[in-house]
Amino acid sequence: ANVSGLALALIALSIAVLVSRRSGGPVREIADAIRNGQFTPYYQPVIDIMSGRLAGCEVLVRWTKPDGSVLPPGRFITLAEASGQIFPMTIALMEAARDDLGPLYAERPNLKLGFNLFAGHFDDVSIVEDVERIFAASSIRMTQLMFEVTERQPLPNIPGARLVIAKLQALGARVALDDVGTGHGGLSYLLKLGVDVMKMDKMFVDAIGTDRYSVAIVDSLVKLAEDMNLDLIAEGVETIEQVEYLRGKGVRMAQGYVFAPPLPASSFRALVEAMVPA
């Protein structure tokens, strides 16, 4: 029943994409929005909770409409992925982030810049070529870049994904496994993909101070990251109590509303200038 449910959902989505392409519906709207630069990078600060310093940011896409409304990715990213428009959208985002942050990041080589990729990006090496083209001649160093692969979507071709990841790393970038513990890979993606960084999902962070069994998972993930020699970033951190707990366990990096939500470029730039001397 599960499988046929999934098949039906996929068929429904394909029909939605087809109808929308023809009728000037949402797929056409997304294409227009890419052309008009309406997909805007927002930047969520990542904090080194040992030192209190700003470590960098994660890019999170927003659809900024001409009427001033701002749509979160939950409203359009699935359709962009299903229609293939996620590819040009990701290129546009990387270019925009480069232009927003290039000069600031050039003077602050320790700051990191993370991008979300989707499973389809790990099917062939064109994303590696895009990254090279966009950043090679820019003032942002490859070593400042991080790319996140989510466990929420299945990776159909693990050896192929392994190759894309290795090529990104060969450029000097780092790769993180996002949403660890929530998705398809189980722990096998951690073993097979060769990532540098583990991102602990909000679901586990939420449990701190409430659910002792889930907190046992937090502790296990921290231990696993240590044993595998991976950096760990805790996400969705909303309370000081969570920060204290994570710091006590030796977790170095965190992001979440307790520090800041995703910020538009001007606000994030002001934060960088205030927190990180050039």
Residue type at 112?
Answer: K
Q: What is the CA radius of gyration of the chain?
A: 19
- Please tell me the distance from the alpha carbon of residue 178 to that of residue 181, in angstroms, as a whole number: 9
Residue 100 within binding range of Ca ion, rule CB under 5 A: no
Burial class (CB in 10 A: 0-12, 13-18, 19+), 168: buried
Q: How far is CA 28 from the centre of its chain?
A: 25
Which of 91, 93, 97 is closest to 111 using CA atoms?
97
Least distance (Å) between residue 146 CB and ligand C2E: 12
Residue type at 256?
Answer: G
Residue whose CB is less far from ligand C2E, 99 or 107: 99
Q: Could you tell which of ligand C2E, Ca ion, none binds residue 236, using a CB distance below 5 to 8 A set by kind?
A: ligand C2E
Residue whose CB is less far from Ca ion, 26 or 112: 112
Residue 238 within binding range of ligand C2E, rule CB under 6 A: yes
Is residue 56 within a helix (H) or strand (E), and if so which, with residue range? strand 53-64
Residue 148 within binding range of Ca ion, rule CB under 5 A: yes
- Please tell me the distance from the alpha carbon of residue 189 to that of residue 195, in angstroms, as a whole number: 9
Q: Could you tell which of ligand C2E, Ca ion, none binds residue 185, using a CB distance below 5 to 8 A set by kind?
A: none
Helix (H, G, I), strand (E, B) or coil at 229: coil
Is residue 166 within a helix (H) or strand (E), and if so which, with residue range? helix 158-171
Strands (E) across 89-234 are located at 112-117, 145-150, 174-180, 197-200, 231-234
Residue 4 within binding range of Ca ion, rule CB under 5 A: no
Residue 262 within binding range of ligand C2E, rule CB under 6 A: yes
Residue 181 within binding range of ligand C2E, rule CB under 6 A: no
Residue 179 within binding range of Ca ion, rule CB under 5 A: yes
Among 4, 69, 210, 229, binds Ca ion (CB under 5 A): 229
Q: Could you tell which of ligand C2E, Ca ion, none binds residue 229, using a CB distance below 5 to 8 A set by kind?
A: Ca ion
- Footprint of ligand C2E on 44-103 (CB under 6 A): 44, 59-61, 72-74, 77, 86, 90, 93
Residues that bind Ca ion (CB under 5 A): 116, 148, 178-179, 229
Residues that bind ligand C2E (CB under 6 A): 44, 59-61, 72-74, 77, 86, 90, 93, 116-118, 150, 178-179, 235-238, 255-257, 262
